[in-house]
Amino acid sequence: MIKADRIWLDGKLVAFEDAKVHVLTHALHYGIGVFEGIRAYEQAGGGSAVFRLREHIQRLFDSARIMLMDLPFAPGDVERACVDVLKANGLKAGYIRPLAFFGTGSMGVGAPNPVQVLVAAWPWGAYLSEEGMAKGIRAKVSSIARLHIGGQMVRAKVSGQYVNSFLATREAALAGYDEAILLDADGYVAEGSGENVFIVKNGVLQTPPLSSPVLDGITRNAVLRLAADLGIPVKEEKFTRDTAYLADELFLTGTAAEVTPVRELDNRRIGKGEPGPVTKRISEAFFKAVGGEDPKHREWLTPY
Ligand code: PMP
């Protein structure tokens, strides 16, 4: 069970036990909340830093704007809250979860109730297991399609939209796989349940473009920039599931999943069935950047 000493709720750090909401909270019924997942890392030179804090909080406010939700705090307040929560819990590294949601008032679906904001943080190791990180995971293409742009907000991290990710991950887990990969409504590979997807073929890195219904992942963006640094050619183009079967390498990126290699998709071994050379180079560059060992990307780090 997640446990923290203190949680930031509506502008104040409160004890874990006191971070409560009412049962008639609008978001509990309809899932209208916007959230982020952010990681903080210990730094090679000592101290700790939050990875791409500004970009995550910007995306939180973008999600809120998409959802017609006015936050009663400025982005700088929420950024400070993230750092305060890490400090208040003595966390040198960890996962940070800001969430803004419609609170109590009316119960109509469209009721613009007062918005509440919380920030929690806790230690969180490898999302798809240490073994998965080291050896690669087994993924399954989901029977659940990724959100459709005709009815959902694919650029926003909205709580209720995670029904889609929940169904996909549960289906994959119950079938004995580590993670689900979702196709878009046209059948092209979109993303994981909480990760963007990359393949490598003949040395070229490929990921679905942002015109696909994928989240504009902050890790995805970091990986594209690190690939450019490393001189790895990149294509942002759609691909089919059988293109993924024939890839030399396949990996997932996300704040929680970091860079997770996929060794098998739908029972087809990918490449040699182990993390490939490009995945390893990207992963090494990623962990250097988050750990303060890449002078080129210091601006990605907020020390605390
Ligand atoms: N897609 C989905 C659906 C996600 O929930 C996440 C996690 N936020 C990602 C992709 C990866 O995004 P990021 O790298 O910004 O964490």
Domain ranges of the chain: 6-122, 130-290
pLDDT in tens, 78-119: 999 999 999 999 999 999 999 999 999 999 999 999 999 999
How far is CA 94 from each of CA 37, 90, 221, rounded to the nearest angstrom?
Answer: 10, 10, 21
pLDDT given at position 3: 85
Residue 256: which pLDDT band, with cuts at 50, 70 and 90? very high
Judge whether residue 2 has pLDDT over 90: no
| 157 assigned to active site | yes
Whole-complex ipTM: 0.99
- Helix 218-230 to helix 277-290 angle (10° resolution) is 110
Give the mutation target among 152, 162, 215 for probing the ligand 1 site: most ligand atoms within 8 A of CB. Answer: 215
3-state secondary structure the chain: CCCCCEEEECCEEEEHHHCCCCCCCHHHHHCCEEECCEEEEECCCCCEEEECHHHHHHHHHHHHHHCCCCCCCCHHHHHHHHHHHHHHCCCCCEEEEEEEEECCCCCCCCCCCCEEEEEEEECCCCCCCHHHHHHCEEEEECCCCCCCCCCCCCCCCEHHHHHHHHHHHHHHHHCCCCEEEEECCCCEEEEECCCEEEEEECCEEEECCCCCCCCCCHHHHHHHHHHHHHCCCEEECCCEHHHHHCCCEEEEEECCCEEEEEEEECCEECCCCCCCHHHHHHHHHHHHHHCCCCHHHHHHEEEC
Q: With CA atoms as reference, report the closest residue to 200 among 158, 232, 161.
A: 232
Q: Does domain 130-290 have CATH number 3.40.630.30?
A: no
Give residue-wise pLDDT tens across range 236-245: 999 999 999 9
Among 54, 153, 255, 282, residue to substitute to test ligand 1 (most atoms within 8 Å of Cβ): 255
For ligand 1, atom 5: residue with the closest CA: 194
pLDDT at residue 225 in the model: 98
Q: Is the pLDDT of residue 233 over 90?
A: yes
Strands 258-265 and 137-141, sheet pairing: parallel
Average pLDDT over the chain, rounded to an integer: 97
Query: What is the rounded average pLDDT of the residues 25-37?
Result: 98
The atom number, within ligand 1, closest to the CA of 220 reads 14
What are the pLDDT digits (tens) for 192-209? 999 999 999 999 999 999
- Domain 6-122 fold is D-amino Acid Aminotransferase; Chain A, domain 1 (3.30.470)
Q: Which residues line ligand 1 (CB under 6 A)?
A: 37, 165, 191, 194-196, 215, 217-220, 253-255
pLDDT tier for residue 175 given thresholds of 50, 70 and 90: very high
**Which atom of ligand 1 is closest in space to residue 165's alpha carbon?**
3
Whether the pLDDT of residue 1 is over 90: the answer is: no
Q: Distance from the CA of 217 to the center of ligand 1, in angstroms?
A: 5
Band (pLDDT 50/70/90 cuts) for residue 135 is: very high
For the chain, the distance separating the N- and C-terminal CA atoms, rounded to the nearest angstrom, is 26
Confidence band (pLDDT; 50, 70, 90) for 259?
very high
Q: Active-site residue among 20, 140, 157, 272?
A: 157
